[in-house]
A = this chain, B = another copy of it.
Amino acid sequence: MCRWIAYQGEPIFLDTLVAEPAHSLIAQSLHAAECKAATNGDGFGVGWYGERDVPGLYRETRPAWSDENLRNLCAQVKSRLFFAHVRSSTGPATARANCHPFAVGNTMFMHNGQIGGYPAVKRRLEALIADDLYAHRAGSTDSEALFLTALTNGLTDDPIGAVARTLLDVQTLMRAASVSEPLRFAAATTDGTCIHAFRWASDGRAPSLYWRQTPRNLLIVSEPLDGERARWREVPQGCALIAMPGEPVRLAPIEMQQRRAA
């Protein structure tokens, strides 16, 4: 179980959210509130869009709370769309390649959750990844495999459909492997313009996910960055949140029966 934030709006310095708020993401790396693992110290990452099409990535194996480079970087870099993530491993090693966000081309992805019984399905899950995308498999997490499978399933063209297909694929593999643990998924993906966020679980206990929109920006977070609960809205379970720049957020159900259009 991890913690993450996604930002879209007027360009701001990353530290505005990553370091400054009372319950900033860095603070959550040491003391998360709504998460089984209070400590999210198994690496971290930030990914941001600047002048280039592809995002910048800074991922490191240290805990976020003690990384000078993270504080320095977040104090300098301004972005209109960025992701930040602190990791609490559910098994795989602490390694840069296992830290979120992941990026392929201009698409970025991060995740909080878990594939129950992952070791039993890992190999078959990887088999679902297209050949050209498999070259991007650098680590050993379920999250990276979910991303590459979702890309294979059409994430860049049809984010909600691709995620639904991927969750269905994984559930099928889990069932075939007689896995009884749940599949839980709170994730965000973006092409650098639009953000899609997802909250879903096979057992109805999806990881927490909140959002807050003002005329100036949108925040999507694992848990609120401040004590003003009234300002934050919960993403309903089973829903995707669609965030086009400058438009009000829309919610849509994640239709698990959805099949790729012919």
A41 contacts chain B at the CB level, 8 A cutoff: yes
A76-B75 in contact given A41-B39, A62-B94, A69-B59 (Cβ < 8 Å): no
- Expressed in whole angstroms, the minimum distance between the Cβ of A139 and any Cβ of chain B is 8
Contact B69 A57 (CB under 8 A): yes
Q: A56 within 8 Å of B by Cβ? A: yes
Asked if A122 and B97 sit within 8 Å, CB to CB, the answer is: no
A58→B69 contact, CB < 8 A: yes
Residues B58 and A42 in contact, CB atoms below 8 Å apart: no
Q: Are A63 and B63 in contact, with the CB atoms below 8 A?
A: yes
User: Quick check: B95 and A97 within 8 Å, CB to CB?
Assistant: yes
Tell me whether A210 is interfacial, beta carbon within 8 Å. Answer: no
Q: Does A96 contact B (CB under 8 A)?
A: yes
Question: For the complex, what is the distance from the CA of A89 to the CA of B67, rounded to whole Å?
Answer: 12
* Copies in the assembly, this chain: 4
Binary contact readout A38-77 vs B (1 if CB under 8 angstroms, 0 otherwise) = 0101100000101110111111111101101100110111
Q: Is A258 in the interface zone, CB < 8 Å from B?
A: no
Interface residues on A, range: 35 or more
The residue from B63, B78, B94, B97 contacting A93, defined by CB atoms under 8 A apart:
B97
Q: Which residues of B contact A51 (CB under 8 A)?
A: 76, 78
Q: Provide the bound-state CA to CA distance between A77 and B56, in Å.
A: 9
A123 engages B119 (CB within 8 Å): no
Residue of B nearest to A140 (CB): B138
Q: Is A30 an interface residue (CB 8 A)?
A: yes
**Complex: A8 Cα to B69 Cα, angstroms:** 23
A80 contacts B by Cβ under 8 Å: no
- CB < 8 Å neighbour of A48 from B65, B76, B131: B76
Q: How far is the CB of A70 from chain B (nearest CB, A)?
A: 10
A189 to B59, CA, bound (A): 29
- Report yes or no: B96 in contact with A68, Cβ–Cβ below 8 A: yes
Chain B hits for A94, CB < 8 A: 62, 66
CB-based nearest B residue for A66: B94
Q: A48-B76, A77-B77 are in contact. List 8 more A-B contacts (CB 8 A).
A: A41-B66, A59-B69, A62-B62, A73-B73, A95-B96, A119-B135, A122-B135, A123-B134
